[in-house]
Amino acid sequence: MTWQGRLLHIHIAPAASYEMEELAEAQLIAGRGIVGDRYFLGTGTYSPKPDVREVTLIEVEVLEAMAKGQPKIPGFKAELAPEDHRRNLTTRGVPLGHLVGKRFRVGDTILRAARMNFPCRYIEELLGMPGLYEGLLNRSGLNCTIEFGGIIRPGDPILPMDE
């Protein structure tokens, strides 16, 4: 697969429901998460099941399409700012949907894509945007584990890895 993407934004939230904060630099710890983020701190989810949300990613292309009202969901158009979508990394030019089960690089770090994220009604209520759940179905990003940690910054290249 030949593509090359870029990291646009890094966001973390210290606990569930907290507003996301943008970082100019983040530290990824293998097997754990982004330092300071709710999934790193273990304050992110009430659900006791083991989870793979050490890092979550979303495509800026999805946010741009939604802001234009694509696809058409009657009465729904959402301008989601990067801090609103509650994913950690906003990417451009990365085919997130093709990466499930594969490894890829973000800057010097290596992530393994575990599963497509499933949207949750919670975000719709949290942001007061009815319809957002439907709007994000099948494109609410990618949940990853960190195989190789390190520092990442907005602007870092995102590259596929040969398996």
Partner 1 sequence: MASPRIIMKLKVVATRKEPGDVLVVELQHPRKPLLPAFEPGSHVDVHLSDGRVRQYSLCGDPADLSRYTIAVKREPEGRGGSTWLHAAVCVGAELPVSAPRNHFPLKQGNWPVLLLAGGIGITPLLAMAGVLNRQGKPFELHYFTRGRAVAPFLAVIEQVVDRSKLRLHFDDDPETRQDIEALLSTRPSDAQVYYCGPPGFMAAIARASEHWPEGSVHFEAFQPALLDDAPPEPFTIILRNGTEIFVPADTSALSAIRAAGVLLMASCENGVCGTCECGFLEGQPIHRDAVLSKDARSHRFMPCVSRATGVLRLDL
Q: Does 138 bind partner 1 (CB under 8 A)?
A: no
If one asks whether residue 46 binds partner 1 (CB under 8 A), the answer comes out as yes
Site for partner 1 contains 18 (CB under 8 A): yes
- Applying CB under 8 A, does 64 fall inside the site for partner 1? no
* Contact flag: residue 52 with partner 1 (CB under 8 A): no
Tokens of 163: 């398996």
Q: How many residues does the chain have?
A: 163
Please tell me whether residue 19 binds partner 1 under the rule CB under 8 A. Answer: yes
Q: Pseudo-torsion of CA 116, 137, 58, 79, nearest 10°?
A: -170
Q: Are 109 and 146 in contact (CB under 8 A)?
A: yes
Residue 122 binds to partner 1 (criterion: CB under 8 A): yes
Tell me how far apart the alpha carbons of residues 137 and 1 are, in angstroms, rounded to a whole number.
25
Contact range with partner 1 by CB under 8 A, out of 11-19, 32-40, 57-65, 102-110: 11-19
What whole-number distance in Å separates Cα of residue 31 and Cα of residue 51?
Answer: 11
Site size for partner 1, by CB under 8 A? 12
Q: Considering the rule CB under 8 A, would residue 3 count as an interface residue with partner 1? A: no
CA angle 140, 7, 69 (to 5 degrees): 40
* Contact residues for partner 1, defined by CB under 8 A: 15, 17-19, 21, 46-48, 122, 125-127
